[in-house]
């Protein structure tokens, strides 16, 4: 079927390729003219036959909200917009209502798979009305992995549910990654285990901890056995924060996911104000030595 | 090759079957005569030709230590003992030294795979001397999963290293399970996601969180979609505790693994003394209502 | 000076008494006619001479927002409203702007001290304009504890800052309480320490952990040495949640405060869905026994 | 009464002074001749009249164990040894049994108060036999703070119980300090709160969080309002680790105390191996940028 695709970045570019391989007619738009099939959003829409389906794959937050607003002025009654980005689920209700007021349809779709999706397919979690999901099913089927549909695709609820499910998916991902990471550090710290990469590689088959993330860790260790080409500095892109916020909203204990989130925050601090306070307190009550701040802070000198 | 196998419980029984299917000659001993191939440990040893290899697969701690001691009196110089149970790595040094004093050889082998190992093979992490590992390689090759050897087997270091690696493996496992579990609870708590089992099933292909544990969660949800046939009561078998103790020994932060361990401890408490203290404090400073202890504790009545 | 006081509950009632003891003229209003000095909010306002100062001490959220709106219709230009409740700091900006649009002044005041404030005075953190703080200083001085003003009172920033400081204060409080609570449970669990209440009582003087909360724990243990008259069921009133949300907003790691918050959430669950998922997973991979759900769930029977 | 005191460091030196002010006859021994009253341990013992009481105040672990062994050879039947250092409670049983085999008596005493103890007195938790506690009561009374004896002193159980109680005391202390520290960092991160030191100072009276540690934080902020003269690098001296180990031994959840311990571990890492693993994983699945290791690691450059 025909699809407009807004946003041809790391994700959208690959998705266009996968869709085309499956025989779909994709008209992509991106501000980068080298990647774009259209000169403007308006141009892209003009190249699509009604009823149109447009997939939005731009950064979450204001860029997505603005794209949806612009599309709402360009599209015609009955056209369908699918937000496949990492929007917060709270944006979906507003988007759906705004589009609905103009007779337009809306689906939100959580997409997982990263740069590997082109080859492996993307896990898809969709929110919205049943008839809209069915209408876009050929697209979903082309994007999702080979194998039984229900193992890589689900219509999980009304508008917002797709992004909600993706948010929780990513929250889990934070916890999984941190669990492997703590294990890696513990193996590294041990004198007994002499070959850490071989140990982790041996977990790929048969063990309880085998997973795709473990395979990726093996890949990373293959090229950098001590992971010392990079720094332990980790960004976060929002879903982990939102997951903890939802845990708070629903009074659900989330010690693992929040610990993984906080570990990322801490990884980005050159120095921890909190630990300065603890150091100051120890110095106050026990006369314990503190480390002076300063350019030679790495020297470990005490005063 | 020929192998003595002590312990034919949930794990050992399946391992004998897998080894026999691979053409090995296994003489098993178990206190359960219906499973045992020998009437006693002595009888089992007498049925093996020197140099013998004996695999110990009994509960960790005293049962394993005692079996090793008994074997050390029955075996002959050059015989090899492999501890495949979940022993603490600190037991291995003592076992190895005791056996060495009698001219016997020792390997420790961490084994992962649970009841699925019969079919899928077992992930194996081995500690000990290179020549002993090579000697037992046919056994390891029969037990480990199909595929490249290094993806399901590793010789990770000297005696103790195999169990150390298995301990960390299980510590990671605690974290992974808790991450999925928090995600499950969050999905259950949401009003937006209407079909939680379908959502989790859709994560099996293409997504970043796909794993064998996820497949098992899907299995569990297939037969009990809300998991309400069981209670949130979770035992632990030691490796998680030891992992956190090693984190402490090596000054390695392990917030996720420890959180997963503590969640298990809490799951087994009918009532938390700590939270009684918090309730008492809130009552003291703010006159906040407390819930009285008593048989109707589930009623939520306040006083 | 003269003060209108809206809300004569556990906190407001005591505050009126403390203010009157200090010689202030308080006109209180409460829906409970037995406590109220006025028949309505309007009546209360009519009894005050302009320029008026009205202290709002009602539950946070909608009750406070509504009271502020009603007051804004009853008061006159130059009158001052002080919100002394536990409002989220985000409410203050809206309240301040709404009042400002009518020529009215606004302060927010975080108040700590609970039921002991009548006797000990209340710790006060105030947000708003300097001239408004000075105008209400006689009230603040009467409410705050004896001793140097700066040890029980601070003007900490613009509107919202008072409640922000109080929110963080309460977040800290969560962590402190949980630290004592974990220590209490650990002492209870030990066979060595034979007299737990005496141990904790002995921490009241000279030690590093001495505090007012510790004194309160001693009080509680004096009347209930094992704290077994109550259940480990702990409510939360919002500030802890907001503190963790702010930690997320500012990318500040808050492992202790969040752990304390999650412990409260867990304390209110009869059974944990997350731990049901962990139990299900262990059963799936290892055939580990699970505990069946059911009315006899406390029996510890396994299946 | 007469007392031998071994170890005149930061703690022992002050204790000798406090004991002498109270009229006791203290013969101190230290390897530092400027502080010592005796030329050797033997010399110290020779200056005491039987039945002797000797207080050991040297670093925990081997130094304390060795001092106890040496004393056991020098003292006579009926003499009493008190270990007032920060020994692990597991050392006490061995010490008590060793001394008992020579007819000597033993008490262990947890001592809290730090450098302030000279002036304020020390909180004391004692383990051992009742008659030995009574014999040393004049010493305990001189060391403990003014006020009711039971608010600064307790005989909490048999040998080991004193150090056990002190260990838990310090575990709590870790949690308390981290709670204040997180609050400090959150206040620093807020744009609303303009005067962080004044805010914290205002918590000293009337509030729920008032404590001696808070007073010390105020002291620290008085001389360094942003705490930027020091680094967020925090040592730990063992009791926090032991507390978490005991939590594990007794299956007691200790999320706050362990989080505080792990925060200290993390504070001492220049770079986190675990977070390198997380960064590597994100790069693997999503092509997310990583920060290269290297001398300019502080520059935040991405590749």
Tell me the C-alpha distance between C93 and C99, whole Å. 10
Instruction: Give the other-Cβ count within 10 Å of B226's Cβ.
Output: 11
- CB within 8 Å of D66: residues ≥ 6 apart: none
Both tokens assigned to B199: 């959502």
SS3 call for A77:
coil
Report the relative pairing of strands B53-56 and B2-6 from DSSP bridges: parallel
What pLDDT does D24 receive?
98
* Interface touch D273/A213, C-beta < 8 Å: no
Q: Residue B301 above 80 pLDDT? A: no
Tell me the C-alpha distance between C237 and C262, whole Å. 13
Query: What is the helix (H) or strand (E) element at residue B156, kind and residue range?
Result: strand B153-157
Give the whole-number percent of chain D exceeding pLDDT 90: 93
Tell me the C-alpha distance between D270 and A232, whole Å. 9
Tell me the C-alpha distance between A295 and D168, whole Å. 37
How does residue B286 score in pLDDT terms, banded at 50, 70 and 90? confident
- CB within 8 Å of A237: residues ≥ 6 apart: A86
Query: What is the helix (H) or strand (E) element at residue D274, kind and residue range?
Result: helix D273-286
Q: Which of C50, C47, C55 has its CA nearest to residue C8?
A: C55
Tens digit of pLDDT for each residue in A222-252? Answer: 999 999 999 999 999 899 999 999 999 999 9
What pLDDT does B294 receive?
65
DSSP labels, C163-184 = HHHHHHHHHHHHHHHHHHHHHH
- CB within 8 Å of C275: residues ≥ 6 apart: B181, B232, B233, B234, B263, B264, B267
Q: Residue B298 above 90 pLDDT? A: no
Give the whole-number percent of chain A exceeding pLDDT 90: 93
Give the whole-number percent of chain B exceeding pLDDT 90: 93
Nearest to B262 among D245, D254, D285 (CB): D254
Query: What is the helix (H) or strand (E) element at residue C25, kind and residue range?
Result: strand C25-29
Average pLDDT, rounded, for chain D:
95
* Interface touch D273/A224, C-beta < 8 Å: no
What residues of chain A lie within 8 A of the CB of D224, using their CB?
280
How does residue C296 score in pLDDT terms, banded at 50, 70 and 90? very low
Instruction: Give the other-Cβ count within 10 Å of C18's Cβ.
Output: 20
Q: Residue C299 above 60 pLDDT? A: no
3-class DSSP string for B205-230: CCCCCCEHHHHHHHHHHHHCCCCCCE
Query: What is the helix (H) or strand (E) element at residue A156, kind and residue range?
Result: strand A153-157
Asked if the bond preceding D183 is cis, omega within 30° of 0, the reply is no
Nearest to C156 among D120, D175, D199 (CB): D199
Residue pair B187/B195 in contact by the 8 Å Cβ criterion: no
* Interface touch B208/A212, C-beta < 8 Å: yes
Our answer to whether residue B188 is catalytic in this structure is no
Our answer to whether residue C166 is catalytic in this structure is yes
Q: Residue C289 above 90 pLDDT? A: no
Please, which residues bridge with residue C157 across strands? C127
- CB within 8 Å of D131: residues ≥ 6 apart: none
Q: Residue B303 above 50 pLDDT? A: no
Nearest to C255 among A245, A248, A259 (CB): A259
Rounded (10°) angle between helices B255-267 and C273-286: 100
Average pLDDT of the residues in C170-182: 98
How does residue C192 score in pLDDT terms, banded at 50, 70 and 90? very high
How does residue A289 score in pLDDT terms, banded at 50, 70 and 90? confident
Burial class of residue D131, CB neighbours in 10 A (0-12, 13-18, 19+): exposed
Residue pair A182/B170 in contact by the 8 Å Cβ criterion: no
What pLDDT does D295 receive?
52
ipTM summary value = 0.95
Give the C-alpha distances (Å, rounded to integers) separating A58 from A124, A242, D198: 17, 19, 45
What residues of chain D lie within 8 A of the CB of C121, using their CB?
205-206
Mutate to test the interface with D, among C92, C162, C202 (most CBs of D within 10 A): C202
* Interface touch B214/A209, C-beta < 8 Å: no
Nearest to B156 among A112, A156, A198 (CB): A198
What pLDDT does C287 receive?
85
What pLDDT does A293 receive?
84
Average pLDDT of the residues in B32-43: 98
How does residue C295 score in pLDDT terms, banded at 50, 70 and 90? low
Tell me the C-alpha distance between B267 and D40, whole Å. 55
Q: Residue A78 above 80 pLDDT? A: yes
Q: Scanning every residue of chain C, which has its alpha carbon at the shortest distance from the alpha carbon of D204?
A: C151
Least confident of B211-215, C197-201, C293-297, D9-13: C293-297
Report the Cα A303 to chain-centroid distance in Å. 45
Both tokens assigned to B207: 């997504």
Tell me the C-alpha distance between D208 and D35, whole Å. 43
DSSP state of A115: G
Burial class of residue D299, CB neighbours in 10 A (0-12, 13-18, 19+): exposed
Tens digit of pLDDT for each residue in C119-173? Answer: 999 999 999 999 999 999 999 999 999 999 999 999 999 999 999 999 999 999 9
Nearest to B245 among D245, D252, D261 (CB): D245
What residues of chain C lie within 8 A of the CB of B270, using their CB?
298
Please, which residues bridge with residue A108 across strands? A83, A127
Please, which residues bridge with residue B81 across strands? B54, B106
What pLDDT does A146 receive?
96
Domain ranges of chain C: 2-158, 167-267, 271-303
Point out the catalytic residue in the list C47, C173, C201, C246. Answer: C173
Mutate to test the interface with D, among A186, A276, A283, A296 (most CBs of D within 10 A): A276
Q: What is the CATH code of the structural domain delimited by B167-267? A: 1.10.1040.10
Average pLDDT of the residues in B241-246: 98
Average pLDDT, rounded, for chain C:
95
Long-range CB contact pairs, C44-50, < 8 A, 24+:
C44/C4, C44/C6, C45/C4, C45/C71, C45/C74, C45/C75, C47/C4, C48/C2, C48/C4, C49/C2, C50/C76, C50/C78, C50/C79
Point out the catalytic residue in the list B17, B70, B93, B173. Answer: B173
Average pLDDT of the residues in B285-299: 69
Q: Residue D167 above 60 pLDDT? A: yes
* Interface touch D276/A231, C-beta < 8 Å: yes
What residues of chain D lie within 8 A of the CB of B247, using their CB?
262
Point out the catalytic residue in the list A173, A201, A245, A246. Answer: A173
Average pLDDT, rounded, for chain A:
95
What pLDDT does C293 receive?
84
For tokens 């081995």, the residue is B126
Task: State the number of CA atoms in the 13 A half-sphere of B67 facing the CB.
Answer: 29
Q: Residue A265 above 90 pLDDT? A: yes
For tokens 């037992």, the residue is B136
- Å from B44 to nearest chain D CA? 37
Fold of domain D2-158: Rossmann fold (3.40.50)
Please, which residues bridge with residue A80 across strands? A53, A105
Tens digit of pLDDT for each residue in D43-92? Answer: 999 999 999 999 999 999 999 999 999 999 999 999 999 999 999 999 99
Other chains touching C, judged by 3 or more CB pairs under 8 Å: A, B, D
């Amino acid at each position: 079927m025909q699809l407009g695709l807004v946003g041809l970045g790391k994700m959208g570019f690959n998705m266009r390729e996968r869709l085309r391989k499956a025989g779909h007619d994709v008209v992509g738009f991106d501000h980068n003219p080298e990647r774009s099939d259209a000169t403007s959003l308006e141009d892209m829409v003009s190249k699509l036959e009604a009823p149109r389906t447009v997939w939005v794959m731009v950064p979450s937050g204001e860029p997505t909200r603005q794209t949806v607003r612009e599309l709402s002025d360009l599209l015609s009654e009955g056209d369908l917009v699918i937000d496949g980005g990492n929007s917060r689920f709270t944006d979906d209700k507003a988007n759906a209502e705004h589009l609905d007021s103009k007779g337009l349809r809306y689906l939100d779709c959580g997409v997982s798979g990263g740069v590997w999706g082109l080859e492996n397919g993307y896990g898809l979690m969709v929110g919205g009305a049943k008839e809209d999901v069915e209408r876009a099913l050929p697209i979903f089927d082309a994007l999702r992995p080979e194998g039984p549909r229900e193992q890589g695709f689900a219509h999980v609820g009304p508008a917002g549910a797709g992004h909600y499910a993706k948010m929780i998916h990513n929250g889990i991902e934070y916890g999984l990654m941190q669990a492997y990471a703590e294990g890696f550090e513990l193996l590294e710290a041990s004198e007994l285990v002499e070959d850490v990469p071989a140990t982790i590689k041996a977990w790929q088959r048969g063990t309880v901890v085998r997973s795709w993330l473990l395979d990726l860790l093996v890949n990373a260790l293959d090229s950098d056995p001590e992971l010392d080409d990079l720094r332990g500095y980790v960004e976060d892109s929002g879903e982990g924060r939102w997951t903890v916020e939802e845990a708070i909203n629903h009074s659900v204990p989330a010690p693992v996911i929040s610990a993984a989130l906080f570990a990322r925050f801490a990884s980005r601090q050159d120095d921890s104000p909190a630990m300065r306070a603890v150091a100051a307190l120890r110095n106050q009550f026990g006369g314990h030595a503190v480390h002076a701040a300063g350019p030679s802070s790495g020297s470990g000198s005490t005063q």
